[in-house]
Amino acid sequence: MMPRVSIIVATKNYGRYLPESIESILAQTISDWELQIVDDGSTDDTSTLVQPYLQDRRIRYLRADCLGQSRAKVLGLRLTTAEYVAFLDADDAWLPSKLEKQLALFAGQPNLGVCYTRRSLMDRDSQPLPSSNSARLPRGEILAELFLKNFICFSSVMIRRKVFEHVGVFDSEWDLAIDYALWLKIAPHYTFDYVDEVLVRYRTGHGNLSKKLADRVAIAEAIMNRAIFRRQLGRHLPASVVAEGYASTFRSLGYALRQSEPSQAVRWYLRACRWGGPRWHASIKGLAAVGYHWLRGRRVGSAPENLSENF
């Protein structure tokens, strides 16, 4: 009999965290699921750590040959069958009622394409970190909000399989921000909703986010260009939203380069200024701050508010 939920875990060299992720799946309050683990060429002890779990017939393991995270996730999709698909990054974990509460939200909402949840933060040792979950999150038709910022925790999502059949899967040419590209494909056609509870424990502080931030923002620009100019997303968005989306992206890159390459930071802040947008003053402020601190030889202040690990 076909399971209700297909769970896909794509992993590479996260053996130290993977058992915690799998245990959080086994602890779910519903049992009608299948788990496909795609090991994208790990060189650690991932394959050994997975073996005890394969006694559960719901859990399958496949070793791939360095496909990259987008292709690994697509492979997981092709190897599963359920009507609903949930993704869990191998270093994150779910709370027990996560799947049950998301399935309940899908009931009675035929146009609901993506359901997400709030998250809490944990460090590399699984210890809780301070996190805020008081802000209202967008629901319904949220294309404009998504164009400005990727606020959806990928490990929290559940997606109707028919959505992939309609809009396509992850874009294979990028290995960062692949979720952001997918949301921009889905949002013109389906609504989004969320369970207003913390149901995901998101691990942070163990990667190289700061080193990859410039790459992330540059890829985000490429994703936005494809959405606006190739997929004609601009027809669905006010001009002010498009302008602010680009401007905030360039401000983020300016901030990322502010200390290592201040001249390049100025360039990106200037691009943000040219786009304008409702928060044009933030671009001017960032440009002035780089110039001031460059001349004074001091560090620039705090990060821009739109900076996100999901971006």
- How confident is the model over 124-173, as pLDDT tens digits? 999 999 988 878 999 999 999 999 999 999 999 999 999 999 999 999 88
Q: How far apart are CA 136 and CA 245, in angstroms?
A: 20
Q: Tell me the whole-structure pTM to 2 decimals.
A: 0.89
Which pLDDT score, from 0 to 100, does residue 217 have?
A: 79
Chain-centroid distance, C-alpha 34: 22
- Characterize 204-235 residue by residue with b for buried, 16 or more Cβ atoms within 10 angstroms of its Cβ, and e for exposed: beeeeeeeebbebbbbbbebbebbbeeeebee
**pLDDT in tens for each of the 311 residues of the chain?**
899 999 999 999 999 999 999 999 999 999 999 999 999 999 999 999 999 999 999 999 999 988 999 999 999 999 999 999 999 999 999 999 999 999 999 998 999 999 999 999 999 999 999 988 878 999 999 999 999 999 999 999 999 999 999 999 999 888 888 999 999 999 999 999 999 999 999 999 766 444 567 787 788 889 999 999 999 999 999 999 999 999 999 998 888 888 778 888 899 899 999 999 999 999 999 989 887 777 776 544 444 544 444 44
Which pLDDT score, from 0 to 100, does residue 111 have?
A: 96
Which pLDDT score, from 0 to 100, does residue 211 have?
A: 53
The neighbour count for residue 8, using CB atoms within 10 Å, is: 21
Q: How far apart are CA 38 and CA 73, in angstroms?
A: 8
For the chain, which domains are there?
Answer: 5-203 (3.90.550.10), 212-296 (no CATH)
Q: How far apart are CA 37 and CA 18, in angstroms?
A: 10
Which pLDDT score, from 0 to 100, does residue 49 have?
A: 98
Residue 282 is encoded by which pair of tokens?
């933030």
User: Helix (H, G, I), strand (E, B), or coil: what is residue 141?
Assistant: coil
In 3D space, the residue among 160, 207, 195, 201 whose CA is nearest the CA of residue 25 turns out to be 201
Q: How far apart are CA 4 and CA 86, in angstroms?
A: 11
Residue 45 is encoded by which pair of tokens?
């002890």
Which pLDDT score, from 0 to 100, does residue 297 have?
A: 67
Which pLDDT score, from 0 to 100, does residue 262 have?
A: 86
The angle at the Cα of 125, spanning 211 to 158, to the nearest 5 degrees, equals 75
Burial class (CB in 10 A: 0-12, 13-18, 19+), 291: middle
Number of residues that this document lists for the chain: 311
Q: Are 118 and 45 a contacting pair, CB within 8 Å?
A: no
Residue 207 is encoded by which pair of tokens?
């990667």
Gyration radius of the chain's alpha carbons: 20
Which pLDDT score, from 0 to 100, does residue 128 have?
A: 95
Label residue 206 left, alpha or beta by phi (over 0 means left) and psi (-120 to 50 means alpha). Answer: alpha
Q: Are 74 and 168 a contacting pair, CB within 8 Å?
A: no
